[in-house]
Amino acid sequence: MDIHRAGRPTRPVPPEWFTGTVWQDPIVEAPAPARLRALRVTFAPGARTAWHTHPLGQTLHVVVGIGLIGLRGAAPRLIRPGDTVWIPPGEEHWHGATPDTMMSHVAMQEALDGQTADWLEHVSDDDYTRAPADD
Amino acid sequence: MDIHRAGRPTRPVPPEWFTGTVWQDPIVEAPAPARLRALRVTFAPGARTAWHTHPLGQTLHVVVGIGLIGLRGAAPRLIRPGDTVWIPPGEEHWHGATPDTMMSHVAMQEALDGQTADWLEHVSDDDYTRAPADD
């Protein structure tokens, strides 16, 4: 058993895969044969990931704030604390804060051949500021 | 993409695998080829799991309260918000609240042949009330 006490350093994210100010806090990188990679990601207002996919999908669980998740050719959707998003393998998407509110989520994905994401282009301001759908 | 909005019903746990009052809130059951099963588990003071193992290990991330995690032949350890515990495949363990404080954690495990845990006997009061180690 390994206990990782609260207080591990918060890390900045690679700027080529994100827009704006985004912070990562580690949760786990489970050793093989397990595949789980989990972390908390905090997006300042206006910040978001680039477009990307996951080889074995991704689960997002919002813990604080209000954010957005976007798919190709559709209005982004608002996500709030307690909401969970499942993105299946290969689906191109992005996620982040809204323009006016920060958002923090736990992100859980499984590594395939050491890879948890395939990164694409940044999300344009036009795509990001499209009026969100809600429900 | 599936968005599960906050507000899905909280479920009681099977009493044969737990002692005391314990509640589960669903996060995700990722479809194959993914394996992730995640949920939030909330233990009232005095409540704990039975002894058990996980075929592909387990990650616990404490979100609220102060709890305990125990291994065979050792004093239980205190766990607090922001702490993460990694339990490797096959390691016999239990987790829960302290006698005086509730605790809620996110539990993440991977299914192997549809199975995420192998359950053993309940945790005795002697094992549960052993003075915890801290660090």
Domain extent for A120: 11-128
**Does A2 reside within a domain?**
no
Residue of B nearest to A108 (CA): B36
* Residue B70 and residue B93 in contact, taking contact as beta carbons nearer than 8 Å: yes
pLDDT of residue A92: 98
Give me the number of domains chain B comprises.
1
Q: Is the pTM of this model over 0.90?
A: yes
**Does A3 reside within a domain?**
no
Instruction: Give the ipTM.
Output: 0.94
pLDDT single digits (tens) A119-135 = 999 999 999 999 998 76
B17 φ/ψ angles, rounded to the nearest 5 degrees: -110, 5
**Does A51 reside within a domain?**
yes
Q: Report the candidate in B44, B73, B69, B45 with the shortest Cα–Cα distance to residue B59.
A: B69
Using an 8 Å CB-CB cutoff, list chain A residues near B5: 80, 82-83, 135
From the number of C-beta atoms within 10 Å of its C-beta (0-12, 13-18, 19+), residue A29 rates as middle
**Does A101 reside within a domain?**
yes
**Does B110 reside within a domain?**
yes
* Residue B40 and residue B104 in contact, taking contact as beta carbons nearer than 8 Å: yes
User: What is the Cα–Cα distance from B76 to A7, expressed in whole angstroms?
Assistant: 21
pLDDT single digits (tens) A90-104 = 999 999 999 999 999
pLDDT of residue A134: 73
Confidence category of residue B134, pLDDT binned at 50, 70, 90? confident
**Does A117 reside within a domain?**
yes
- Chain A residues contacting B, CB < 8 Å? 1-7, 26-28, 30-31, 33-36, 38, 56-57, 59, 61, 63, 69, 71, 77, 79-89, 91, 93, 106, 108, 110, 135
Residue of A nearest to B87 (CA): A1
Whether the per-residue pLDDT at B135 is higher than 90: the answer is no
User: What is the Cα–Cα distance from A45 to A23, expressed in whole angstroms?
Assistant: 12
Q: What is the CATH number of the domain that holds A39?
A: 2.60.120.10
What integer is the mean pLDDT of A52-79? 98
